[in-house]
Structure formats: structure tokens, C-alpha cells
Amino acid sequence: MKVLNLRFRVDDLTSESRAFEGQLTEELLASHLPGLVGALGYRVESPGEVAGSAYLSHGGEVIIDGQIGVTVGFDCTRCLSSRSVKISVKQSHALISRAADSDGAEEIVVSDDEDTDVVYSFEGDEVDLSDLFRQDLVLALPMNPSCETAGVADCTYDETAQKAESEQIDPRWAPLLELKKKLN
């Protein structure tokens, strides 16, 4: 049986699992990753490789089990060293078919297995998984990537020097510190 692309028709599915695979282009990912970590952001170093399986449940839902893997570069939020890491995300989703609208077009709604309010919809009888896996990737990226994220143990960030620097009091605030001591 032929492997499906990331965009396929619901009619191509049966109750037997069918494999799908494809790539999220570097251009698509590059338009969504920069700016996620302030001005630093992430840099796409490879296209996103997506693979998995899809099948039609007895209730009419399209069940998607898939994985995306991509290499992204970033600057450590502690020491600002340039690093890269391979991110791999495995997710399952259920796509639920909605009743036809008054114009006769059927809409397909995507919802997570968990009880969430997040719902994705697709018009017609085609499903495009590109946006779904792109969002899975964005949600899996660390908010504050550091050298530890990339598996590097020797981050050049010196925490003790930072603590010593922060413990020094600006002499302009010294009178307020004395007042605070008197009140306690």
C-alpha cells in the first residue's frame, strides 16, 4: 500500500493503519521559530521530518499517531553560546468530522486526545497535517534553551559571579536599606 503524504483525503483511510511521511520545509519552520526566545529565537538547521500512521476509527474519527524530528540552533540564554539540538516530538491526535454546513461543505475538526479547548478545523475532505505537526514542534521547544538543553555540561555562565554582582548594593539605595533595618 502506498505511503500517504502529509496532505491526504479522508477517503484514502480505512480501519487499517496507513503510514504517512513528509517534510516541513525550512522556510515554513523559519517563519514560526524566530522570536520565540525574545530577540534570540531559534534557527532552523534542517527540514522537519514527519512520519507516522493514520486510520479511521469505527466512530468515523481520523486517528493520527506521528512524530516530527528537526534540528534547531539557538543561543544559550545563560552564556549566549551558539548551540544546536535535535528535537523529536511524538503526538497523537483525533480528527473529528463535523456535520455539513448549510452550503453542503463538510468541515473536519482536529482535537487532542486530552480534554482541551484547542480545536483545529479543515474544510472539505482533505486533511493537511503540516500545521498540526508544526504546532506540536513549537509547543515542544524549551522556553529558555540553555547549554543543558543541547546536552553540554560546561556552560560558560558563572552563577557565583552573577550572585556576587547582584549582592552588591547600589550606594544610592543604602539609606533605604538602613531604614528597612530600623523598621525590622
Q: pTM for this structure?
A: 0.72
pLDDT at residue 90 tops 70: yes
pLDDT at residue 164 tops 70: no
Residue with cell 491526535: 93
What is the pLDDT, as a whole number, of residue 76?
A: 86
Measured distance CA(75)–CA(151) in Å, rounded: 14
- The one-letter code for the residue type at 144 is N
Tens of pLDDT, residues 101-116:
555 555 555 555 555 5
Q: Average the pLDDT over 160-182 and give the result.
A: 76
Signed CA dihedral, 83, 84, 88, 93: sign only: positive
- The terminus-to-terminus CA distance of the chain in angstroms comes to 77
- Alpha-carbon separation of residue 114 from 54, 108, 110, 131, 140 (angstroms): 18, 18, 12, 19, 16
- The one-letter code for the residue type at 138 is V
Mean pLDDT for the chain? 81
pLDDT at residue 117 tops 50: no
Contact 152, 84 (CB under 8 A): no
Share of the chain above pLDDT 70, in %: 76
Signed CA dihedral, 128, 129, 130, 131: sign only: positive
Tens of pLDDT, residues 10-63:
888 889 999 999 999 999 888 888 766 666 778 889 999 999 999 988 877 888
- More reliable by pLDDT, 70 or 166: 70
pLDDT at residue 159 tops 80: no
